[in-house]
Amino acid sequence: MGQITLNQITKSFGDVQVIPPLDLEINEGEFVVFVGPSGCGKSTLLRLIAGLEDTTSGHISIDGKDATQLPPAKRGLAMVFQSYALYPHMSVRKNIAFPMRMAGIDEATQKQKIEAAAKALNLTDYLDRKPGQLSGGQRQRVAIGRAIVREPAAFLFDEPLSNLDAALRVGMRLEIMELHKKLETTMIYVTHDQVEAMTMADKIVVLQAGVIEQVGSPLELYHAPRNKFVAGFIGSPKMNLIEGAEAAKHDAATIGIRPEHLTVSKTDGAWKGTVGVAEHLGSDTFIHVHGTGLVDMMTVRITGDIEVRHGDTIHLTPDMEQLHRFDAQGLRIA
Amino acid sequence: MARAVTNQRKALNTAIAWGVGLLIFFPILWTILTSFKTEAEAIANPPVFLFFDWTLENYGVVQERSNYMRFLMNSIIIAGGSTILGILVAVPAAWSMAFVPSRRTKDILLWMLSTKMLPAVGVLYPIYLLCIQLGVLDNRLALVVILMLINLPIIVWMLYTYFREIPGEILEAARMDGASLKDEILYVLTPMAIPGIASTILLNFILAWNEAFWTLNLTSVDAAPLTAFIASYSSPEGLFFAKLSAASTMAIAPILILGWFSQKQLVRGLTFGAVK
């Protein structure tokens, strides 16, 4: 269960078309991440699948059945919201029970499922508390618990971790991934954070202005971005994109080289520049280099630590094997 | 850092607050006191504050001369009826404006409020004529409808403000969880909006209870509520301050008791959203 197909779906708000005709296939058991800058339509796309927004045209089918006109409740999907959207007047137990109560499931089964979900999510001690008495991470777990007990065809996550602090976010990310391994249910996850996308996804869908720029596994996107947008969006720090004469040498309008595919030397190399800021992370060092004459600022990633100071002259050499080439339209040249 | 407040300062502030409170309450207190005086004491100069011969005579006269219970029933029917009707109309209206707003929602809200800016007397003539034409002058049902319409903008505004405080995502979550529109309203929205709905009902009931312009102009005998009961004692032929006070006290007593017991609810409702 959990095969979702979008066929030529569009969405307009008034005269503004936010999703131009779009096709997408989400396979059973897949962990799919929609990623893109804010306003790219990723949340709208998720809400169209959920049924919280009506499609302007096109068809959505879930497990082979046309779900385009079905109300959210009839689609068999569960959603976890960014704000958790817990019912503040109900205890954790009642929150988790709510979808089962709506489905008319008997009390005994409800109790059993609540206990199982609470155990899996470490919520057993908190079942009788109200959401207001829980921490952010616990609230998010309650929201997930409420989703699990429905045994949905697919889980939809709308930026579920953005309200959590950094440390908690990494922990919850792992928990969600483990949950996916355990349940093997389709999950669709929306985020603007490309690190979340890279670490969690089986399949990433990169969106910009409602258009799918590329669909692929994290490593496909990393190694073979289909265009300049994907190249710049996936990977941290960003890929260096160089235009002009240097690109022309490689028969391209733009060439791209990732910070980790540049080597640094103090004596010689292909490109010369001066060190602006060096960010020492211990495991890595990011050096921002100015005055190369190619781009305003080029970022280099060095594994380990390196002794460089502001104003030092350094030489950079790209790994030609890892060079990406794009044509005048911004599309990848194979 | 919290501002340092000296004890002296605190005492002064408390005294000022009590002073202002008493000043506001004084007319009501004076009315109640006067109702226990004789007519002569009521107009005595200088006025007597507490040391007079307390008497229940005025209440006896008032009860004898007019049927308090009939006026009370009319007040309850008119205030209660217009409140219930108003809530029934306003909940769906506020609902749709809070959760499915359109481009014109704000304009509609302002337009509704603007009707409160018109002096009531401006529409007295047409409404009076309409009531005559429809044969509903001095009719309780007509007053229920008119008072409902008069207070509707306030009810809608208040409910709209409360509903706006409820995050839409929670309702969407309920929808995802399989709740029908009925379930969503019954199990999720209403429990969350109860404090707001309760204080709206309360305030509207008080407003309708005290409404005097329309109740005085559109009633005579059958539908006359307590406002008309008070007015009947402000006779132009003589000054019967003690009896007028007794009538007023009897008229405001029910609402004063109601307000006293629900003040916590009222304060919370009226400051909702302002201080979270």
Q: For residues A184 and A180, give the distance between their C-alpha atoms in angstroms, rounded to a whole number.
A: 5
Q: For residues B24 and B17, give the distance between their C-alpha atoms in angstroms, rounded to a whole number.
A: 11
Return the pLDDT at A301: 93
- What is the average per-residue pLDDT within B48-76? 84
A contacts of B170 (beta carbons < 8 Å):
85-88
A52 interfacial to chain B (CB closer than 8 Å): yes
A150 interfacial to chain B (CB closer than 8 Å): yes
Neighbours of A195 (CB within 10 A): 14
Return the pLDDT at B113: 87
B contacts of A89 (beta carbons < 8 Å):
191-192
Confidence of residue B274 (pLDDT cuts 50, 70, 90): very low
A88 interfacial to chain B (CB closer than 8 Å): yes
**Number of CB pairs < 8 Å for A and B?**
57
Cβ–Cβ gap A85/B175 under 8 Å: no
Cβ–Cβ gap A98/B172 under 8 Å: no
Given a contact cutoff of 8 angstroms between Cβ atoms, the answer to whether B189 and B171 are in contact is yes
Cβ–Cβ gap B178/A83 under 8 Å: no
- What is the average per-residue pLDDT within B42-63? 81
Reported ipTM: 0.83
A58: left (phi over 0), alpha (psi -120 to 50) or beta: left
Going by their DSSP bridges, the two strands A211-216 and A203-208 should be labelled as: antiparallel
- What is the average per-residue pLDDT within A215-233? 94
DSSP string, A192-251: S-HHHHHHH-SEEEEEETTEEEEEE-HHHHHHS-SBHHHHHHSSSSPPEEEESHHHHTTT
Q: What residues have CB less than 8 Å from B118, skipping those under 6 apart?
A: none
Q: For residues A303 and A294, give the distance between their C-alpha atoms in angstroms, rounded to a whole number.
A: 24
Confidence of residue B220 (pLDDT cuts 50, 70, 90): confident
Cβ–Cβ gap A146/B177 under 8 Å: yes
Long-range pairs of A119-122 with CB within 8 A, sequence gap ≥ 24: A120/A145, A120/A148, A120/A179, A121/A145, A121/A148, A121/A175
Return the pLDDT at A233: 92
pLDDT digits (tens, 9 = 90+) for A300-317: 999 887 788 889 999 999
More confident residue, A274 or B221: A274
Q: Per mean pLDDT, which range of A28-42, B37-51, B78-92, B97-111 is the poorest?
A: B37-51
Q: What residues have CB less than 8 Å from B225, skipping those under 6 apart?
A: B71, B74, B75, B78, B79, B143, B209, B215, B219
Return the pLDDT at B276: 32
Q: For residues B37 and B240, give the distance between their C-alpha atoms in angstroms, rounded to a whole number.
A: 11
pLDDT digits (tens, 9 = 90+) for B123-180: 889 999 999 999 888 888 999 999 999 999 999 999 998 888 888 889 999 999 999 8
- What is the average per-residue pLDDT within A8-13? 92
Confidence of residue A73 (pLDDT cuts 50, 70, 90): confident
Distance from CA of A188 to the nearest CA of B (A): 15
Confidence of residue A228 (pLDDT cuts 50, 70, 90): very high
Confidence of residue B268 (pLDDT cuts 50, 70, 90): low
Cβ–Cβ gap A98/B192 under 8 Å: no
Question: Residue B16 burial by CB count (10 A; 0-12/13-18/19+): exposed, middle or buried?
Answer: exposed
Give percent above pLDDT 90 in chain B: 25
Return the pLDDT at B238: 62
pLDDT digits (tens, 9 = 90+) for B8-20: 889 999 999 999 9
Best to test chain A binding among B176, B184, B192 (most A CBs inside 10 Å):
B176
Return the pLDDT at B119: 87
pTM, to two decimals: 0.77
- What is the average per-residue pLDDT within A57-85? 92
- What is the average per-residue pLDDT within A73-78? 90
Confidence of residue B237 (pLDDT cuts 50, 70, 90): low
pLDDT digits (tens, 9 = 90+) for A112-133: 999 999 998 889 999 999 998 9
Confidence of residue A198 (pLDDT cuts 50, 70, 90): very high
Cβ–Cβ gap B178/A146 under 8 Å: no
A82 interfacial to chain B (CB closer than 8 Å): yes
At position A183, the amino acid (one-letter code) is L
